[in-house]
Amino acid sequence: MDKFSLKMRASQQEQHISGAERILNEAELIDATSSLMSRALTHEKGEADFIQIKMEKKESEEILRFSALPVKTMETKSVIEGYETMKQLLSQLSIQNPDKILGFLPKTYGMRGAMLLHVDSLERFEENQLRGVRATYMDSTDFTASKKQSKNHFQEALILATKVAHCPHILGELCISDDPNYITGYVASRDLGYVRITTVKEMGSGNGGRIFLFRGGQEEAKETLEFLEKQWVLVENLPDSPISVEKTDETWNKWDRYEKEMELWEQSGLKRVEKVVIPSKEKGSSWVTYGEKQLIMMASNNYLGLTQHPNLIKAGQKALEEYGTGSGGSRLTTGTSDIHDDLEKNLAMWKGTESAMVFTSGFVANFSILACLLQVEDVVFSDSLNHASLIDGCRFSSANVVVYKHNDMEDLKAKIQKYQGKSGMIVTDAVFSMDGDIANIPELQEIARKNHLLFYVDEAHSTGVLGKTGKGICEHFNLKEKPDLLMGTLSKALGSEGGFLCGNSCIINYLKHKARGYMFSTALAPATVATAKSAIELLEKDVSLVVKLQENVAYFNELLKNKGINAVSPTPIFPILIGEEEKSVKIAEKLQESGYFVSPIRYPTVEKGKARLRVVLMAQHEKTDLETFVDLLGDCMGLK
């Protein structure tokens, strides 16, 4: 039976974004084409504006079939150990100068194809040295178009390695993953098999590439290139994942894999430790004790300093006395007390919606609401900088998740266009937690309305912060109508703990029956509920803290501008871009020595190389605090 090769290449403004190939039977072509098309149109690197699909036919007899190379895993703890392992493997391939060959790897970074390197003369044989050689016309017989899951990274690599290992005049192959989320590499040959090396580079680095190890002259090179680029190959017996060697009881250390991964993070400078930060009550709510020192807190979400407010503390104490320490049950069983009900009523009233419900945290709220509301027929459009809890909620739901460019209405509209007629939701942060910018809520609301999508807004950083009286994003934009689902947290400006959702009675009622994070988690402790309730009652009467916070935001913008620091923000969150991870840590340390607590934000919270300081203002910061801080910051950044 004839076989068909199907190749897809997609680009956006002439930049490659995705590519894939399959070798299939005729009957599978239509399904496979449509699945490749949809892959090109919904790729995370962007949406294709040019897609090329190429289909070719070949007689089955002309196709070579090989069994997948046997897979072996070598565990390495560091990049250095990884390199040493590669070196040893190269020696096993009777290669004389493994060091020199490994030295060629950096030259492959950024090449789309591989380097074809003569192992003795170190001459390169690719026709195009910028692009490299591409091995192509290969697939596995173990996949059919109807089989839903697609090849994973490992399987794609193994198919390629198997073809290359059977290529004439090739001794073997050397590869380091160029995916920033992978730190693995491999050495492969017909004799060695496919030897995975668990660590060959740093987490977060996009530097990777491959070398085909060649021996021969011009004629042989021609033959090799012909095989790599033209010969059709099907790989059989492809495993799903690299199964490690069987472990005996003595060698099985159950914590090994976790320990190893953490060692790597440490080596890459990404180790985290919780800092012990204690409020310095006597100095005021923007002060903390950290180690030996008292510092001005410039990194907390406690925007209004309410965690130390006497009203909240008193309310908490009173509830503790009256109700005890815990709620003892979930909301639908025994955990609801009158103050839980009161808090929900107050929230709905304060936010101006029909109804409200409270969850044990903002994270739980987002996760359980989205997972519950979004169903398999839905599409959810999610901003690329949305909070992790929104991302996880979308992922956990069975809906199709489409990520649009950050706050980019044109991109969103174009993406919605593709799914016209589908039901679903637009989901966004009101204020983005790392960048401090505000989503274009009025336009998002309009787009949602026009396309019959629900509109979900996370007000974690706008509640108590934006709007004349701190009511949040609706007040800020003077919206006539509320977003359909207005979520927020009690844990930031409101100084307490817990997540909430405001909306109409229909949706709140539905969620009370169906949201698993609501139904199957113990209700918030009464004292926590009482403090949150007290915070809302305070803001209903007295908005002076909100006003003070907003004045600080305006003043801080002015100070930064005068200092020539390129950072503006309409909210108390100011991202100060530094770049290098290490530098951001150093500057934060320096600021700390001078009396200010600031957090460096690094990969993986933000992209590698885009490390920043996240400076956060509070209502309690004095003007002089801000002035001194900006001067210091300017010095640290090397500005006059």
Give me the residues that bind ligand PLP (CB under 6 A), please.
Answer: 361-363, 366, 387, 389, 429, 433, 458, 460-461, 489, 491, 499
CB-closest chain residue to ligand PLP: 362
**Minimum CB separation from ligand PLP for residue 464, in Å?**
13
Amino acid identity, position 296 = I
CB nearer ligand PLP, residue 393 or residue 526: 393
CB nearer ligand PLP, residue 347 or residue 632: 347
Q: Are 8 and 139 within 8 A, CB to CB?
A: no
**Minimum CB separation from ligand PLP for residue 407, in Å?**
14
25-32 contacts at long range (C-beta below 8 A, 24 or more positions apart): 25/1, 25/144, 26/1, 26/2, 28/144, 28/145, 28/146, 29/4, 29/55, 29/145, 31/145, 31/146, 32/6, 32/145
CB nearer ligand PLP, residue 286 or residue 433: 433
What residues are paired with 612 via a beta bridge?
577, 601
**Minimum CB separation from ligand PLP for residue 635, in Å?**
30
DSSP state of 308: G
The Cα–Cα gap between 246 and 256 comes to 15
CB nearer ligand PLP, residue 429 or residue 437: 429
CB nearer ligand PLP, residue 68 or residue 553: 553
**Minimum CB separation from ligand PLP for residue 387, in Å?**
3
CB nearer ligand PLP, residue 23 or residue 616: 616
Q: What angle do CA 440, 444, 445 make, to 5 degrees?
A: 120
**Minimum CB separation from ligand PLP for residue 317, in Å?**
22
**Minimum CB separation from ligand PLP for residue 518, in Å?**
14
Q: Are 43 and 20 within 8 A, CB to CB?
A: no
**Minimum CB separation from ligand PLP for residue 520, in Å?**
17
The Cα–Cα gap between 316 and 307 comes to 11
How many other C-beta atoms are found inside a 10 Å radius of the C-beta of residue 312? 22
Tell me which residue has tokens 């007689």.
59
CB nearer ligand PLP, residue 184 or residue 366: 366
Q: What is the dihedral of CA 254, 260, 261, 267, to 10 degrees?
A: 160
Identify the CA nearest to 21 among candidates 115, 128, 145. 145
CB nearer ligand PLP, residue 139 or residue 459: 459
**Minimum CB separation from ligand PLP for residue 437, in Å?**
12
**Minimum CB separation from ligand PLP for residue 393, in Å?**
10
CB nearer ligand PLP, residue 199 or residue 569: 569
Encode 455-482 in three state secondary structure: EEEECCCCCCCCCCCCCCHHHHHCCCCC
**Minimum CB separation from ligand PLP for residue 301, in Å?**
7
**Minimum CB separation from ligand PLP for residue 571, in Å?**
12
Radius of gyration of the chain (CA): 29
Tell me which residue has tokens 């100095």.
283
Tell me which residue has tokens 């309310």.
315
CB nearer ligand PLP, residue 327 or residue 462: 462
| Per-position DSSP letters for 488-501, written without gaps between them | EESSSTTSS--EEE
Identify the CA nearest to 486 among candidates 469, 511, 468. 511
CB nearer ligand PLP, residue 456 or residue 597: 456
CB nearer ligand PLP, residue 429 or residue 484: 429
Q: Are 31 and 143 within 8 A, CB to CB?
A: no
What residues are paired with 278 via a beta bridge?
289
**Minimum CB separation from ligand PLP for residue 499, in Å?**
5
The Cα–Cα gap between 269 and 286 comes to 30
Q: Are 75 and 260 within 8 A, CB to CB?
A: yes
Cα 258 to chain centroid, rounded: 20
The Cα–Cα gap between 8 and 34 comes to 11
Q: What angle do CA 184, 188, 190 make, to 5 degrees?
A: 160
Rounded to a whole number of angstroms, the distance between the first and last alpha carbons of the chain is: 75
